[in-house]
C-alpha cells in the first residue's frame, strides 16, 4: 500500500454524499444527507463543511472522487457541477492531492463491467471484500465511496 496512511473516497451527491475513509488499516463509511432540497448555497455549505470535518479529522494524503456521469440530465446536473467545482477548488487550496476516477472505471474494477447497476456494485463489494451494503437504495453512495478507496489501494498505490 506504498505508505498511504489516510485516504478519503467521495461519491458526491446533492442528496446523499457517500464517504469512505481509510485510516489505521481499516475503511469506514458514512453519508452526508442535507435536508434542504431547494436551497443551493446552504446545501453546498452543509455538504462541504461535513467533508472538511472528516478531512480535518483524518488528514488524508489523497482524496479520490468519482467523476462526472456524462449521461446525467436535469437542472440538478448544474448544481452538482458547481458543488464539485467548489470542492476541487478547496482541496487545491489545502494542497490535498485529488484523483478523479470515471464511474465506468470503478464499475469495471469492482464488477468486471463498466455498465454495472447499483445492485451489482453492492453484490460485488460483498463478494470481493466482504463489505456489506445491502440496503442498495440508501447505501449505494457509501458502496461507491468504499469501492473508490479499494480501487486506489489496489490499483493506484502499487
Higher-pLDDT residue of 11, 77: 11
Distance of alpha carbon 89 from its chain centroid, rounded?
17
Domain boundaries, the chain: 6-156
Task: Tell me the per-residue pLDDT of 34-64, one tens digit each, with 9 for 90 and over.
Answer: 988 678 999 999 999 999 999 999 999 999 9
Residue recorded with cell 457517500: 18
Identify the band that residue 65 occupies on the pLDDT scale cut at 50, 70 and 90. Answer: very high
CATH code 3.30.420.10 for 6-156: yes
Amino acid at each position: 500500500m506504498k505508505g498511504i496512511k489516510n485516504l478519503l473516497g467521495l461519491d458526491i451527491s446533492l442528496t446523499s454524499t457517500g464517504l469512505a475513509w481509510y485510516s489505521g488499516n481499516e475503511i469506514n463509511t458514512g453519508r452526508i444527507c442535507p435536508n434542504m432540497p431547494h436551497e443551493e448555497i446552504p446545501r453546498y455549505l452543509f455538504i462541504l463543511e461535513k467533508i472538511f470535518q472528516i478531512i480535518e479529522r483524518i488528514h488524508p494524503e489523497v482524496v479520490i472522487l468519482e467523476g462526472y456521469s456524462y449521461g446525467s440530465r436535469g437542472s440538478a446536473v448544474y448544481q452538482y457541477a458547481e458543488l464539485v467545482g467548489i470542492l476541487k477548488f478547496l482541496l487545491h487550496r489545502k494542497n490535498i492531492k485529488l484523483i478523479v476516477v470515471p464511474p465506468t472505471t470503478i464499475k469495471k474494477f469492482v464488477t468486471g463491467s463498466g455498465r454495472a447497476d447499483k445492485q451489482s456494485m453492492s453484490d460485488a463489494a460483498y463478494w470481493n471484500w466482504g463489505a456489506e451494503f445491502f440496503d442498495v437504495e440508501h447505501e449505494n453512495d457509501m458502496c461507491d465511496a468504499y469501492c473508490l478507496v479499494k480501487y486506489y489501494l489496489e490499483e493506484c498505490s502499487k
